Amino acid sequence: MAGLDTPLTPLRFLERAAEVHPDAEAVVDGDRRITNSELADAAQRLASAIRASGVGAGERVAFLATNRLELLVAHFGVPLAGAVLVAVNTRLSPQEVAYICEHSSSRILFGDSDLLAALDGVDLTVSEVVDLDTGHEEFLDRATDERLAWEVEDETATITVNYTSGTTGRPKGVMYTHRGAYLNALGEMHHQGFVHGSRYLWTLPMFHCNGWCTTWAVTAAAATHVCLRAVRGDAIWRLVDDERIDHLCGAPTVLTTLATAPHAHHLDRPLTVVTAGAPPSPTVVGQIRDLGATLVHVYGLTETYGPYSICEPRDEWSSLTADELNVQMARQGAGMITADRMRVVRRETADDGTLVDVEPDGVEMGEIVMRGNGVMKGYLDDIDATAEAFAGGWFHSGDLGVMHPDGYVQLLDRAKDIVISGGENISTIEVEQALASHPDVADVVVIGVPDEKWGERPKAFVVTREDASVDSDTLVAHVRARLAAFKAPREIVFTDALPRTSTGKVRKNALREAESAG
Amino acid sequence: MAGLDTPLTPLRFLERAAEVHPDAEAVVDGDRRITNSELADAAQRLASAIRASGVGAGERVAFLATNRLELLVAHFGVPLAGAVLVAVNTRLSPQEVAYICEHSSSRILFGDSDLLAALDGVDLTVSEVVDLDTGHEEFLDRATDERLAWEVEDETATITVNYTSGTTGRPKGVMYTHRGAYLNALGEMHHQGFVHGSRYLWTLPMFHCNGWCTTWAVTAAAATHVCLRAVRGDAIWRLVDDERIDHLCGAPTVLTTLATAPHAHHLDRPLTVVTAGAPPSPTVVGQIRDLGATLVHVYGLTETYGPYSICEPRDEWSSLTADELNVQMARQGAGMITADRMRVVRRETADDGTLVDVEPDGVEMGEIVMRGNGVMKGYLDDIDATAEAFAGGWFHSGDLGVMHPDGYVQLLDRAKDIVISGGENISTIEVEQALASHPDVADVVVIGVPDEKWGERPKAFVVTREDASVDSDTLVAHVRARLAAFKAPREIVFTDALPRTSTGKVRKNALREAESAG
């Protein structure tokens, strides 16, 4: 009788929100405010228009859009049509956007007017381009009165494809399933604490892992999405105050924007701030605490639906000093409730090819691996890359870390970012955190640069706080007081800003290339 | 690559609780207090001992036990061994217990000393009986040092069998799956609001639908179970106060015990009280509100893992009067987040055999049907009953109700409890609620009794409050002021207590039989 199990799909969340809280506010986007019932209608209309446009089951539909109502509707409407959503990073070059449209065989490309304008002169393989600002209503007029079922036949069918940021090589298309999206959304709902009445601010791009599945999780709780098109301090604070925001997410750089904006002020009601993308520095942790907000640190990759693990605070941490707590909080923690265990494994597998865990001593470095419902189905049209990523039956993150005795994982570095100096591994993240713990340091990145004697040596790029006058010697001494001497950078460059990817990660690759070039 | 999806199982919840909050309190049972780490160890030890005893994959293991630590451990340890848990209602007769052991082919029967003693002289088909009070440690000594994986190969494998109360005929064995238990536990966690730090009091029997899946849901949140072996007002209040309880569940009769106990007092911190089994009367709703607790009304059956739907309060209800709110709150609501939609369908199907919804007008009566992950896999070894229950692809509850214009379902009666008088359907629940709204009425039940002229007529049994002196005429007038005249009982019997099943439901069948007999 198991055939009676209903296939898992996040479409159910919108069906239910519209059933149970039809008149509650679903989305706020500037002056536009719609209810759950209207959001469901909008998804139905989009789905019907997509089908009327000849898009078949499993075919892709691309969106090049900011955090706007239409992109949120698409997270339900596109899969409701039986199609697959490709939400494209808006900060990519025209050529990269064209590549993603071609690689995903997207049939239609929807986009913001100005983002589409930037594609002028680029060859696009899509059959149709729809301008969300000028042509969307006309497109939607193709819809009939049909109401599609909020169902999917096969829960392992692809619901979205998210392209990796591809710091090296071509971006890869990460396939999420209806089942994975459903479960990860429930996991986010639990760990972020979404309930009916929650008000979520979109400081995170929706095109980034479908907003870590919060596109679906917020609606699962019949809570309210508040759109934000550009991450600016004044806009964030206006919405936090006026829209009574109690949840938001972002990379640490977004948190810095939040905490250092002129409008920043202590909050008199709860705000949960979830961060990922890089371990939050002690400075950021302290700043968020000073606002009166609660910081939640999670960790994951595009391949893991966004967050896979959470650094869940433990009861015994309540007796730690702020500094001790910061160290605990900067770790990546353990698998979320809907994920499997997270492991750290050795480079060498056992004789039978199985993966061998490192010692849980906080010292032995290995690769972080994950599996299960929190991990993608595979890379679109790339069997080789998929097989390589899943060698030994676990997804290989390419991230290096250690397993602590308490079962929490700590990320040390991306495999390609590790600095090998005199045969010793140096975690650039570790050095970055040591530098970031100095009160005059606002932002920092460490990379490995060639060194005749040692092979490589760490080099730091530091952004200081306004009015700070710290010098290199002081910072090096600060690091040496905290880490082994060989880990201290012997060269520190002071700069105004660090180059970052669209998702807030420092582009270490670009810095390394600049070093090599000159 | 979908093969990498990990099969869903609530075993993962204990694995994770022991990983993330190893030293947090998992279970309190009298003087015994164990941590999540110790609970995981206990489940491993039980599982190993069960396997060492020759119990094979998919074989059944029965427990006849009160709400004690060992039964909670069994909810993880038995499935960890690959076996299937049968938690038997402790209030059944020895013959019924023997029947369930035989029908489920249980290999081992574990039980409380006094409950096993009551089986003396009864033929039991099990190979082994283990007294939890005197022989359990010896049984557990069979365990080896093996650590079993917190995994299951097939998520649609049976995890437990729960026997229906069987007011008519033999009890049927309802099969729950690992997948269903996992999803329903996540649903309970969300709707009941379990988080790490929550403290849950076991006022609900664990043998009743595996405690509505809260056996697993509380541990999913790495929260704390507080056992309670007998539902007495003094014991409840001592634990609520001393153990800082913030969640409990029970049938309305349990809530009445809670609210009317000598120790009852207003609470100065949150307490969520979840009720099911019968619509809470306005009196109970008011009493729980007066305690300062939050009442959550859910609805389901043994076949639906306990709760399937929830009467989720809507924003607009905040402007209702207490009386208006009580009416809203007494409804059964809509499917939980992990369930499908709940429907009310006509007796006559469409020409193609599909089910036809009643008008959503709050008037047309039909049968409540459910399906999906919130519904059992089927009845153990009873293909015919399973096929009949799932006619048309939906599970037929046997409950009659209406669909309101706002999408919420209201239960009117069990199909067999409806009174047909002069060709008119009379919902006994509706009449009961009208009577219960009188301040002097403490408890009430209405049944249909034979009537020469009308076929049947409603008859009420009423328990009045202490010191109340209300008479039949007053109560009949009270009902006539609220319902159509033909629905008012023309006969009211005043009594000291109503006969109830072990799960708190009034045994209407017994009352009807007594009427027929005499």
**Which CATH number characterizes residue B434's domain?**
3.30.300.30
Amino acid identity for residue B342 in this structure: M
Report the pLDDT value the prediction gives residue A3, as an integer from 0 to 100: 41
With DSSP H G I counted as helix, E B as strand and the rest as coil, what are the percentages for chain B, rounded to 5?
35, 25, 40
Q: Does the beta-carbon distance from A377 to B1 stay under 8 Å?
A: yes
pLDDT of res. B169:
67
Give the CA count within 13 Å in the CB-facing half-sphere of B286.
13
Q: What average pLDDT does the segment B486-496 reach?
A: 89
**Interchain CB distance below 8 Å, B16 and A335:** yes
Judge whether residue B333 has pLDDT over 90: yes
Q: Do A315 and B24 touch (CB under 8 A)?
A: yes
How are beta strands B424-426 and B419-421 bridged, if at all? antiparallel
Q: Give pLDDT tens digits for B56-114.
A: 999 999 999 999 999 999 999 999 999 999 999 998 889 989 999 999 999 999 999 99
CB A273, CB A292: distance < 8 Å: no
Picking from A6, A36, A310 by the largest number of B CB atoms within 10 A of its own CB, the best residue to mutate is A6
CB-CB neighbors (< 8 A) of B371 in chain A: 4, 6
Give the pLDDT confidence score for residue A2 in this predicted structure.
Answer: 37
In a domain, B116, yes or no: yes
Sheet containing B491-494: order of strands = B441-451, B455-464, B491-494
Q: Is residue A214 part of a domain?
A: no
Q: Does A68 touch chain B (CB under 8 A)?
A: no
Rounded Cα distance, B23 and A404, in Å: 16
The complex's ipTM works out to 0.89
Question: In the sheet where A395-403 sits, what is the strand order?
Answer: A343-345, A366-370, A395-403, A409-414
Return the SS3 of A166.
coil
**Number of Cβ within a 10 Å radius of residue B505:** 18
Chain B contact present for A7, CB below 8 A: no
Instruction: Report the C-alpha gap between A256 and B203 in whole angstroms.
Output: 47
pLDDT score, position A168: 54
pLDDT above 90 for A387: yes
Is residue B251 assigned to a domain?
no
Read off the pLDDT of each residue in A115-125 and give the average, rounded to a whole number. 95
Q: Where are the alpha helices (DSSP H) in B276-402?
A: 282-291, 322-329, 383-389
CA distances from A310 to A330, A333, A339, B300 (A): 11, 5, 10, 33
Residue where the block lists tokens 């019997």: B493
What lies within 8 Å, CB to CB, of B180 at 6+ separation is A5, B159, B305, B373, B374, B375, B376, B377
B293 bridge partner residues: none
Domain boundary at B128, B157, B177, which?
B177
Q: Does some domain include residue B224?
A: no
For residue B166, the model assigns a pLDDT of: 58
**pLDDT tens digits, B150-206:** 999 999 999 999 998 755 568 899 999 999 999 999 999 999 999 999 999 999 999
Which structure tokens are listed for A241?
């105050």
Choosing from A157, A177, A197, the residue where a domain stops is A177
Domain boundary among A152, A177, A202: A177
Q: Which of B5, B314, B407 sits opposite A179 (nearest CB)?
A: B5
| Chain B (281-340) residues lying within 8 Å, Cβ to Cβ, of chain A | 312, 314-316, 333-335, 337-338, 340
Domain that holds residue A56: 7-25+32-177
Mean local confidence (pLDDT), A5-18: 97
Q: Tens of pLDDT along B262-278?
A: 999 999 999 999 999 87
Chain A contact for B196, CB < 8 A? Answer: yes
Contact between B315 and A21 using a beta-carbon 8 Å cutoff: yes
Residue B333 DSSP one-character state: B
> Per residue in A233-282, pLDDT tens?
999 999 999 999 999 999 888 998 999 999 999 999 999 999 998 788 88
The residue in chain A having the minimum alpha-carbon distance to the alpha carbon of residue B311 is A20
Confidence tier at B502 by pLDDT (50, 70, 90): low
What DSSP designation does B329 have?
H
Residue at B230 is within a domain: no
Amino acid in position A313? P
Mean pLDDT value across residues B296-320: 96
The label of the residue with tokens 């509650």 reads: A24
**Residue A126 within a domain:** yes
Q: What is the dihedral of CA B63, B67, B69, B74, to 10 degrees?
A: 30
The whole-number average pLDDT for the span B426-435 is 86
Confidence band (pLDDT; 50, 70, 90) for B424?
confident
**Do the chains contact at A4 and B371, CB–CB below 8 Å?**
yes
Q: Sort out which chain B residues have CB atoms less than 8 A from A172's CB and list them.
A: none
| Disruptive mutation site among A14, A20, A394 for chain B (greatest number of B CBs within 10 Å) | A20
Reduced to 3 states (helix: H, G, I; strand: E, B; else coil), residue A344 is strand
What confidence category does residue B118 fall into, taking pLDDT thresholds of 50, 70 and 90?
very high
A142 in contact with chain B, both atoms CB, cutoff 8 A:
no
Once rounded to an integer, what is the mean pLDDT over residues A224-234?
A: 94
CA of B18: which chain A residue's CA is closest?
A407
Among A15, A189, A378, the residue with its CB nearest the CB of B190 is A189
CATH of the domain at A124: 3.40.50.12780
Give the dihedral sign, CA B263/B266/B269/B273: positive
Residue A212 in this model has a pLDDT that exceeds 70: yes
Least confident of A22-36, A174-188, A345-359, B472-486: B472-486
Place of tokens 């807030």: A504
Average pLDDT, chain B: 93
pLDDT, residue A78, reads 98
Q: Is residue A288 over pLDDT 90?
A: yes
The answer to the question of residue B125 being in a domain is yes
* Residue A1 pLDDT level (bands cut at 50, 70, 90): very low
Does pLDDT of B27 surpass 70? yes
Note whether A407 contacts B2, CB cutoff 8 Å.
no
SS3 A219: helix
| Mean pLDDT across chain A | 93
pLDDT at A449 over 80: yes
Inter-chain touch A190–B193, beta carbons under 8 Å: no
Q: State how many domains chain A has.
A: 2
Neighbouring CB atoms inside 10 A of A287's CB total 20
Residue B263 lies in a domain: no
Rounded to an integer, the average pLDDT of B481-497 is 87
User: Quick one: pLDDT band at residue B307, thresholds 50, 70, 90?
Assistant: very high
C-alpha to C-alpha distances, A292 to A87, A286, A287, A324, nearest whole angstrom:
34, 10, 9, 19
> How do strand B173-177 and strand B378-379 relate by DSSP bridges?
antiparallel
